[in-house]
Structure 1
Amino acid sequence: MFVRTESFKEFIKFYPIVTGLVIIHFALWLCIDLLQFPFALQFLRDGIGNNYLVSQGEYWRLVTPIFLHAGFAHALFNSFSLVLFGPALEQMLGKSKFILMYIISGIFGNIGTYLIAPHEFYQHLGASGAVFGIFGVYLFMVLYRKSLIGPSNSQLIMTIFVLGLFMTFMRTGINVWAHLFGLIGGFAIAPAVLRNARPFSVWQNRAKHTNRNNGEVTFNPNRWNKRKFLPGKKYGKYIFWGIIIFLVALALLGNLF
């Protein structure tokens, strides 16, 4: 569920919303931080979360900070979180429900920041509220929709959830309210978006996107010859990706939300 076995081309085809969000993150970083285009710098000034300006009626600032980041590392690790934890949810919810959940969670996080942040000129940016919304949906699955998520994945989600909350309160420079309210937003909208959801399966994606000629599924008779089911090779791949997921998630939750 959280181990990516798709090729790069398959990933883009199977998960267009996650792909699009990651492209937006890096496109904005490129235009703002690296190339410093005037229009991009103006977008940063007009889009960054600012509690005082929200109070003056600039309500779009409850949305735009979701797509802005404080440098390459910030964009990189929030994008990693999307790549690791977003695809399964995008398939389970569908494109429309996934983007709706993501945006609503991010808005919840920004509203919480506006209501409870320590001072009226507090500024913030980043996708962490929306990312915590993804964890909020998974948390709802673990508690109330166990048929949608297996025991091992449930344990992984709960571990990341506990680590995320711990690091949220222990480290400085983190928008605590965006994390907490983003999580609440994802959890609150979960019953609606999970209606009629089915468990994740990469084979559903491959079946859905299989090339068809005259209504018939094409079949490559040599496909099975390309994969040798060697136990060491098979388990080595999963161990490798498991380590990568753990290290990236730990770095993400501990430092760069």
Structure 2
Amino acid sequence: MTWSLLAVTIGVFLVETLIGGSQNINVLVRLGAKTNELIQMGQWWRLITPIFLHIGIFHIFMNVFTLLYVGQILEPMIGHWRFFIIYIVSGIMGNLASFAFGASSVISAGASTSLFGMFAAFLALALIYRENRFLTELGKSFLGLIVINLIMDLTMTGIDIWGHLGGAVGGLLLGYALGIPRISRPKMMFRILALVIFVVISYYMYVKGMVVYG
């Protein structure tokens, strides 16, 4: 899945470049960047498509490198489909957070919502399997990475901090709900609870976004 997601992301960037440039606002909107007004008008797919769009060569380089690095660790650990679900669905939750709490005039795109979800999934696994030293150390490392990046978000312009926060919350809940294959932890009731919390938060953010921008 890591290589498939990389291929799609790079392919979309090439399309952006060929039809007018990845920093062209018209191109970004045309290909599905997150714009609050258009989501409010019913274009719900703009909560998904921004995951694969990037603004400029530095933006895609950093996200592709991060996806490759993290994916090669996380995907073999949790399996292909769990990895795919966390990547896509935490990205959607990040875009929902941006829709609900971000500035209405901002056009946003990028895989960082999903990447924060993957960082937080490591934290979830560290909490579930505390006796595993490897997972515990990974969890600490990625928690530090989340905190550092969020602090950097506060000091930089043009960064969608709400998208990053939402992605991290989504990854934490999904990581807890899905766990590691063939290991019966956490208990099913806690997995279901994590999913319920995920759905409730997502629904709340969608409704909030529709009310604020409607």
TM-score, normalization by structure 1: 0.64
- Cα deviation, residue 170, structure 1: 1.8
The answer for the alignment partner of 2:123 in structure 1 is 139
Question: What SS is found at the alignment partner of 1:49?
Answer: coil
User: Do structure 1's residue 181 and structure 2's residue 192 form an aligned pair?
Assistant: no
The answer for the alignment partner of 1:122 in structure 2 is 106
Q: What is the number of equivalent residue pairs in this alignment?
A: 178
Q: Distance in 1 between matches of 2:171 and 2:109?
A: 18
The answer for the alignment partner of 2:42 in structure 1 is 57
1:167-192 CA deviation, whole Å, 9 max, x = no partner? 12221110011100000000011122
1:90 aligned to which of 67, 75, 85: 75
User: Do structure 1's residue 103 and structure 2's residue 88 form an aligned pair?
Assistant: yes
Query: How does 1:187-206 map onto structure 2 within 5 Å?
Result: 187-196=172-181
User: Do structure 1's residue 36 and structure 2's residue 16 form an aligned pair?
Assistant: no
Do the aligned partners of 1:105 and 1:133 also contact (CA within 8 Å) in 2? Answer: yes
Question: Where does the alignment leave 5 or more consecutive residues of structure 1 unmatched?
Answer: 1-16, 199-257
Do the aligned partners of 1:141 and 1:148 also contact (CA within 8 Å) in 2? Answer: no
Change (3 A) 1:138 1:71: same
User: Do structure 1's residue 160 and structure 2's residue 145 form an aligned pair?
Assistant: yes
Q: CA RMSD in A?
A: 2.2
Question: Where does the alignment leave 5 or more consecutive residues of structure 2 unmatched?
Answer: 184-214
Change (3 A) 1:43 1:148: farther
Question: What SS is found at the alignment partner of 2:163?
Answer: helix
Please say which structure displays the higher CA radius of gyration.
Answer: 1
- Cα deviation, residue 46, structure 1: 4.0
Percent identical among aligned pairs is: 31
Do the aligned partners of 1:52 and 1:122 also contact (CA within 8 Å) in 2? Answer: no
TM-score, normalization by structure 2: 0.76
Do the aligned partners of 1:32 and 1:44 also contact (CA within 8 Å) in 2? Answer: no
Q: Distance in 1 between matches of 2:133 and 2:154?
A: 28
